[in-house]
Amino acid sequence: MAVNFPLITPGKLKPVPGLQLGYAQAGIKKPNRKDLLVMKLAPGATVAGVFTTNRFCAAPVQLAKTHLAQAAATGKSIAALVINTGNANAGTGDAGLVNAQATCDALGKLLGVHAEQVLPFSTGVILEPLPVDRLVAGLPQAIANLADTNWFNAAQAIMTTDTLPKAASRTVTIAGKKVTLTGISKGAGMIKPNMATMLGFVACDAKVPQPLLERMVKEAADASFNCITIDGDTSTNDSFMLVATGAGELEITSADSDEYQALAAAVSWLSQELAQLIVRDGEGATKFITIRIEQGRDADECRKIAYAIGHSPLVKTAFFASDPNLGRILAAIGYAGVADLDVSTIDLYLDDVWVAKQGGRNPEYKEEDGQRVMKQSEITVRVTLARGDAAATVWTCDLSHDYVSINADYRS
Amino acid sequence: MAVNFPLITPGKLKPVPGLQLGYAQAGIKKPNRKDLLVMKLAPGATVAGVFTTNRFCAAPVQLAKTHLAQAAATGKSIAALVINTGNANAGTGDAGLVNAQATCDALGKLLGVHAEQVLPFSTGVILEPLPVDRLVAGLPQAIANLADTNWFNAAQAIMTTDTLPKAASRTVTIAGKKVTLTGISKGAGMIKPNMATMLGFVACDAKVPQPLLERMVKEAADASFNCITIDGDTSTNDSFMLVATGAGELEITSADSDEYQALAAAVSWLSQELAQLIVRDGEGATKFITIRIEQGRDADECRKIAYAIGHSPLVKTAFFASDPNLGRILAAIGYAGVADLDVSTIDLYLDDVWVAKQGGRNPEYKEEDGQRVMKQSEITVRVTLARGDAAATVWTCDLSHDYVSINADYRS
């Protein structure tokens, strides 16, 4: 099902010194599947994150933000992250906050840290009470198997409608010092992150002060998770967290340093890989589409147009059908909401094929050329606006029968 | 396929004195189907319209706007409308304008009027050259069968992926004078009108001065076609036209009169009926959904939320599946873009079932109650925001396998 999804094996995921992972089958929604993950951090690790902008932001997201702020205010470091799948604990009102707090209390007690040193995350169905008793009962099992080699199990433990676990890993050498970065992500539907994705976690073993890490996570999110869309639905639980354990060789001291730039680039690269894995495994996806808007006045208008194309059900079904019904792309550009857009200067390319020229059909465009590109599993839509030098890229997938099937059946 | 679509027969559609309709099989895209419509108006008729806001506005739309402006400037009245299906003549650049002009020239010549007294309309595939020779060759056939009894044939002649012709008719008595109103519409996909719908035409036999008719058509569009969405795609060709032939008994002289109010209400009622027919026959539709947002600060924020719900593929597939996965509605409310929305005051109802209370699950909500409503073919989603007294209503349908099939196959 997934589109050109790379082979990910446990052996490819490098341990990040200073971070251990433990998982459990807590039976939160269904029995006999990994649905609970604990990440334990070395003392002194720094953690920064970006979260959903959805006003119905989930209880664990609210609490994670509070705990991050308390950690910053009191100087206590974050000691653990706990993630459950099977229930989003969103749209659950005050009871949801009580349950998220109970989760942190229980894990804090088991690990011998304060509850506010724990960050909670949830993903799954919205508007249903979190079965917190089953979650808490699963924590000892997760703690019992804590190990730094569990990244693959961790990626499995946070899946919902994902068909494949999503993880990536790399090592870089910066100023002669080795840094290991490994991350996991999940999400296949309700994907149109706005400051963050459904769930993404990236860890590295460099030592990075809190303010620099906060800057780095925002940069990485904007270059990765904030550039993908599957169905235009921004989730209530989107969270993207960056952990710097400080257990490795490299220490970052300034945002102006070459070391910061190199590490930020590596983090962004890994985040982009994780974000694209989400699109490749998008619900029902059969095509991986890159939408590139160039020569705009500013990045915002480029993003508006890219998302209009990426969200259009008509464009997405045409990709599914490999049908070069490319007028639908022009229609989407036209209603994207760029009020003073002059369409007579717009060109449209499908990979190397020049489809529309100055707002109309390119006289040299041949249907069979469009057809050839539409049949590929990876396609780039490129639009040039001829009104500036800003650009934006969005990655998305097609809309297939399986998307409807998956979302008509997901909860029932 | 269509949802509770009323039985429409030729006999139910009342002739509007002062307006004749003729149709032809011009073979514009496929042979042996009605694809060309001419509406001939009595001298002195007034015509007003609203058009798509899509920047890739089609050539015929551009020309229709120009001709309406010329008619207003020169005092010449509009004498005819010509509508083809099978090709949108959009994304066709200068050649498209030349073809739209040639259409008006040819019809003007045949009817003995100036080309600028003709308004052209097109609907169908975008980015393909209009086969103007075939269209022009079909005009004599359409003129030969001009009659005021052809409304049903007219509704058939403008269909694309519509499964059923859409028309409505009524007579009202205003100030003791009889007024006949009849209208047709078309559209089943690429439906998220913005100032107008794909194609809608309403005619009445009252005499209405141009400025009053322009006001009336805007009011009617805002109460009808501007409240529907099928897939969120605003078309390049949306046009909604109101014709007042002046051949009947009633004459409107002032917008402040009771007569104006009564006629405007009748036009809005008929327009709403035609707009809802489009949703009932939405591509692949199995459910007709009314989304009502109440107690907002202004109508704009209510509409934002209503459209976020109405466009969410996750909400729409849940309706298709009759699955009360209603947290998806909360998620859509949350990302609708109302920045300062306090979700803790929001209630959600599904028909008479109180699902969410103060932003969380209503403790008394029972899954079987939600299930019962979700199984219906007509469902009202009602959201109360508790922050004002504005409201908005949007009509939409579900997202089914057939939507994907229709749009994956439509052009190929």
Residue B222 has pLDDT above 90, yes or no: no
Residue of B335, B345, B410 whose CA lies nearest to B383: B345
Residue A409, pLDDT score: 72
Mean pLDDT of B217-237: 83
For chain A, list the domains and their CATH numbers: 10-280 (3.60.70.12), 288-409 (3.10.20.340)
Residue from the list A327, A360, A408 with its beta carbon closest to the beta carbon of B93? A360
Asked whether the beta carbons of A123 and A158 are under 8 A apart, the reply is yes
- B205 vs B180: CA distance, rounded Å: 6
In chain A, what residues touch B93 (CB-CB under 8 Å)? 344, 358-361
Residue B196 has pLDDT above 50, yes or no: no
Rounded to the nearest 10°, the torsion over CA B9, B14, B18, B21 is: 0
Mean pLDDT of B115-130: 93
Q: A200 or B398: which carries more pLDDT confidence?
A: B398
Residue A68, pLDDT score: 94
**For this structure, is B160 an active site residue?**
no
Mean pLDDT of B317-332: 92
Q: Among A54-68, A233-247, B84-98, which is the least confidently predicted range?
A: A233-247
Residue B410, pLDDT score: 59
Q: How confident is the model at residue A411 (pLDDT cuts 50, 70, 90)?
A: low
Given the residues B197, B234, B290, B393, select the one marked as catalytic: B197
Q: For a pLDDT cut of 90, what percent of chain B falls above it?
A: 72
Mean pLDDT of B200-223: 90
Q: Which helix (H) or strand (E) holds A349?
A: strand A347-350
Residue from the list A96, A234, A311 with its beta carbon closest to the beta carbon of B360? A96
Q: For a pLDDT cut of 90, what percent of chain A falls above it?
A: 72
Residue B385 has pLDDT above 90, yes or no: yes
Place of tokens 């409240």: B227
Residue A375 has pLDDT above 90, yes or no: yes
Residue A154 has pLDDT above 50, yes or no: yes
- A1 vs B378: CA distance, rounded Å: 34
Residue A222, pLDDT score: 87
Q: Which helix (H) or strand (E) holds A123?
A: strand A118-123
Q: Give the number of A-B residue pairs with CB atoms closer than 8 Å.
A: 221
Place of tokens 């780095």: A216
Taking an 8 Å cut-off on Cβ atoms, the answer to whether B234 and A331 are in contact is: yes
Residue A195 has pLDDT above 50, yes or no: no
Phi, psi of B349 (to 5 degrees): -125, 145
Residue A230, pLDDT score: 79
Q: How confident is the model at residue B194 (pLDDT cuts 50, 70, 90)?
A: low
Residue A1, pLDDT score: 65
- Reported as a single tens digit per residue, the pLDDT across A306-358 is 999 999 999 999 999 999 999 999 989 998 989 899 999 999 999 999 999 99
In chain B, what residues touch A100 (CB-CB under 8 Å)? none
Residue A201 has pLDDT above 90, yes or no: no
Give the Cβ contact number of residue B7 at 10 Å: 6
Mutate to test the interface with B, among A317, A387, A405 (most CBs of B within 10 A): A317
Mean pLDDT of A2-9: 90
Mean pLDDT of B245-261: 92
| Amino acid found at B46 | T
Q: For a pLDDT cut of 70, what percent of chain A falls above it?
A: 98
Residue B72 has pLDDT above 90, yes or no: no
In chain A, what residues touch B335 (CB-CB under 8 Å)? 53-55, 192, 194, 233-234
- A130 vs A100: CA distance, rounded Å: 9
- Reported as a single tens digit per residue, the pLDDT across B325-348 is 999 999 899 989 898 999 999 999
- Mean pLDDT, chain A, as a whole number? 91
Q: How confident is the model at residue B195 (pLDDT cuts 50, 70, 90)?
A: very low
Residue B106, pLDDT score: 98
Taking an 8 Å cut-off on Cβ atoms, the answer to whether B403 and A313 are in contact is: yes
* Chain A residue with the nearest C-alpha to that of B401: A401
Asked whether the beta carbons of A335 and A308 are under 8 A apart, the reply is yes
Q: Among A27-36, B178-187, B225-234, which is the least confidently predicted range?
A: B225-234
Residue A412 has pLDDT above 60, yes or no: no
Q: Which helix (H) or strand (E) holds A329?
A: helix A327-334
Q: How confident is the model at residue B267 (pLDDT cuts 50, 70, 90)?
A: very high
Q: How confident is the model at residue B162 (pLDDT cuts 50, 70, 90)?
A: confident
For A57, residues 6+ apart whose C-beta sits below 8 A from its C-beta are A51, A90, A236, A237, B334
